[in-house]
A = this chain, B = another copy of it.
Amino acid sequence: MINQDFIDKALAAHRAVWSEYDGLRYVRFVDDFQGICRGTVVFGDQVVYGYPSIGRVLALNSGLRGQFHAPFWMEEKVDGFNVRLIKLNHRLLALTRGGFICPFTTDRIVDLLNPHVFEHEPDIVLCGEVVGPDNPYMEGSVPYIKQDVELFVFDIGAINQKRFMGYADKESLIERYQLPSVQRFGRFQINDLPKIGEILLQLNIEYREGVIFKEDSPRDHRAKYTTSNINIVDIEAGAYTMFDLPPEYFKNRIARLVLFMDEQGLSSTVELQQQLGEAYVRGLLEAIQQVHEHHKVFRTFRCRFRQRENAVKLLKHLSEIGGHVQITLRELKEQDGYWLLEFDKVFPKSSGTLSSLLKGSLLFD
């Protein structure tokens, strides 16, 4: 239970910190701490629990057999950024995975769903993925969203409740309030593996990231499994900012890709191998081109706001959380009733390493 004593301990251990957004002070868990997961936030006596990590299986058959002891639901895993939407003292707020209040999503909540759900269910916590080409965090989108962003709800919880509501209750709320939801494929058993494989192959063809399995049992055990093509997309994006990425980035994706190919019978597909090689080459060549032209490696992002001040807040937020990545404003202007923000993320290690290599400097490896 999270009481004042527990919060004080977490603060003292630097697992939680005080944060502030627009006059609202709150405690944010920056790390897992004694069963409370990273991203948990505390507003006075109201706790919004962090969204728990979901483990990944790389081998589907043995993974399902090993992980699930009861039938399970299968839903699409959408490749965007994770948010928790709440209403707190008459304000709609969007929390990121890390427990920050997101200036962008908070500004746009009323475009993402009909907020009347919060009038009827004031304690609700809507967990979902925000995805689309015009978002401030992630390169790319899903193929079925061509502009701006959309929300896809996948779990519903409540303030001061650690667990999500049951699957049937979730579905009935989604139905009742017409909440935008991730695609739900239904309830399966281990024996349905051929059917599951078919769905996955179709998702793979459509470049959709993968699925989440949720056991239909009190323990609500979960696992994720991703398709192969998305790894190729990730590798191309990663090759572009190669020197700024964590070392395991490529290894993990190669492992996921090859295990998917192996299990789904795609391993001898020459076309796939060519796409993989092309992803590396294209991504890095594009970065080289950028360094030739602009002397740096950067990506341009854009997103729309209802209120100008939230765009300014977002830039400040990104600069604070971005670590070594630099944020530079390109433009902030009114357009079609919104404030259109354009900014660059500059990747200093990729910029520096490639500039230096292209200048012919010596590398000792």
Contacts and interface: CB of A to CB of B under 8 A. Distances in A.
Nearest to A269: B281
A285 B267 contact: yes
A254 B278 contact: no
Interface in A224-246: 239, 242-243
Chain A interface, >50% SS class:
helix
Interface stretch (A61-69, A101-109, A204-212): A61-69
Contact of A262 (B61, B67, B285): B285
B274 A288 contact: no
A360 B255 contact: no
Given A55-B364, A56-B364, A267-B281, A251 B252 contact: no
A359 B242 contact: no
A167 interface: no
Contacts of A251: 242-243, 247, 250
A36 interface: no
Interface in A265-298: 267, 270, 272-278, 280-281, 284-285, 288
A64 B362 CA distance: 10
19 contacts: A57-B361, A57-B362, A58-B363, A59-B358, A63-B360, A63-B362, A64-B360, A66-B361, A67-B360, A223-B362, A242-B254, A248-B365, A250-B250, A258-B280, A261-B281, A273-B277, A273-B278, A274-B277, A276-B277
